[in-house]
Structure formats: structure tokens, C-alpha cells
Chain A
Amino acid sequence: MSALWIATIGTSVIAFLLKYSGHSIPERFLSNPKIQRINTLIPIALLSALVGVQTLTEKSSLAIDHRLAGVGVAVIALFLKAPFPVVVLTAALTSAAIYNWF
């Protein structure tokens, strides 16, 4: 089985077990305020790290290229409170323009 299949099936199995366990365990196990707080902070850390890695790395080294321009425009769009599709589209258009013409 290829690495991509292992990732696909493994993620799906654990995602379901996490959902199902929430429906089956007593509330007191997860009502600890520290657990709740860590749970709201983990997505912030992981998603931000993914933004950084996907924008500024190529294989295992740092790289500055057309993607940074695209994500920079996405930041501006978000500051201007643009909706999600606009953010993604302006990033793609900017990045594609630079990649194709420079």
C-alpha cells in the first residue's frame, strides 16, 4: 500500500474514532478547562505552521518565490475582510501571474 493510501485510510479511521469516542465517553473526562484551552490553541499553531511551510519551503529548504506574493495578497484580502473564495482566488491569480510572466 502506498504512503498516500496509508495517510488516507489512517487519517479517516482515527478521525472517526475521535468523533465516536466523544459520543461515548462521560463528559467529565474532557471538561477540564486546560484541555479545552489547549484544544482551541492547537489548530492555531498547526494551521499557521502549515501556512508557513507551504509558502516558504521547497523540499527541506527555505525558498522565497511566487507563492509568497500570492499568500501576501491573501493576507491583504483577509485584512479587508474578503470572503474565503476571494482570498483563495486572489492568491492563486497573483501567484500564477508571477510564475507565468517573470
Chain B
Amino acid sequence: MKPVLDVHQLTMDFGGLRALDHIDLQVNAEEIVALIGPNGAGKTTFFNCITGIYTPTKGDMVLTRPDGEASRLNGLKPNRVTERGMARTFQNIRLFQNMTVLENVMIGRHCRLHSGIPGAIIRPPANRREEKEVVEDSYRMLETIGLTQYVNEFAKNLPYGAQRRLEIARALATEPFLLLLDEPAAGMNARETNALDELILRLRSEMKVAILLIEHDMKLVMSLSDRIYVVDYGKKIAEGNPDAIKRNPAVIKAYLGEDIDA
């Protein structure tokens, strides 16, 4: 089976600064892969390149649907990337603050709906049905994530942990088969992180979503990941399963500093 995400020799230069240096990375269907590295290593830049926010200097990026249909990501605008089935969350929360929690999730459904302006004004039965479905589907998503008590609350009023989970819910609403999570556990306490761990596993098992995650919380990374990529200064310095990475001397030197026991 082809990997859902196949990135080959991805390079990103900002003027004289090389942020990504010939990165190769694959994610297979229903895999949980982690991308780790010290701050400034280029991880979010990587996300920005594959989602079309930056245009990479060099390299090929291919997204392949579970049914086999492949799309080249190079040159695609971010909304097209999401349409093709890859969604993301952001390192700094980028929710739609002045919309309710439910509406934030409903926005995620946008690219899977078809109503246009005439439909919005006239409201034929097809449109009404679609709107009803959007509301119900979004509510069900909130149930899955566990945010139903905030349903009509403004996103900006949510506690931090709930906001992070809302971002995930919103991204999931776009029906991705590959979900990019950028530091989802940032700022969470131990209990919240455990809940996140369970959530991500459920996403994989129930919704058949592959996950590529950037994280600094090593406990979470080691517990969740099938495979890990380590980058430093834009270069890939290691790749493998959690045990291998834990033992890798280059990784320890660059990043972990001390022994890590899961």
C-alpha cells in the first residue's frame, strides 16, 4: 500500500536561511507518526510546506487517498489540500474566536458541502437538508471530542485545553484521512495530556485517520507513535520506532540530553 503522505527531498530556503534540508518522510494509512526536534528545527515549517502555506524551494510531496488516488501537493493552495483530505491544527491556536464552538466545527464541513449563494437565499429542500445535516454532524463531532457542554459558547471564552480540542474537532470535520497536529499537548497538564492520548488513539481506531504530530511532550510521543522522525536544523537526523529513537546517540546528543524512560 502506498503511503498516504510521501515527502521526498523537501527543501525550504528563506533567503539565505535553509529551514528544511532535503527531508524525506512518509506516513502510512492509519499510522501515528511523530515529528520531533528542538525548537526552530523546522517542524512547523514542514507543516506549512505540505499544506500549501509556503512554497517549498525543492522537493516533491504526494498525498494518496486510501482508495489509491494520488495528488501532488506542490503548488496546491491550502484549501485544496484540505479538500484532498489532509487537515491540520496550529501551534498557536487559530480558532474563529467570535463564532460559537458549534459554528467552528460547522466551518470544517464547508468543503464537503455544496450550497451556494442562491441556495442560501431561497432555501430549497436540498439546502435545508444539507444545513440540518451540518448541524447534526457537527454536534456529533463535539460529542466524540467531548465538548458538547460548550456548544453555544464563543470559542474565545473556552478554557485553554478545550480550545485545543476544538481545533482538533474542527480539523476532523473536514473528513481528513491524514491529520496534522501541531503541538496539541502544549500547555496541558498531565490529566489533559492523558485524555489527549486516548483521544488520538480513538481517532485512529474509530475514524481511520492517520496522524502526523509535532510534539515536545516526550511521554506522549513515545506512548503514541508507531514511528518517529527527528529533525534538527532542518535536517533529518533519525527515523525509527520509539525504542530505536530512544537509543539513538545522535538524537540523544541533539535533543534528549538524558535517558528517557517511558
**Same assembly:** no
Interface residues of A (CB under 8 A from B): none
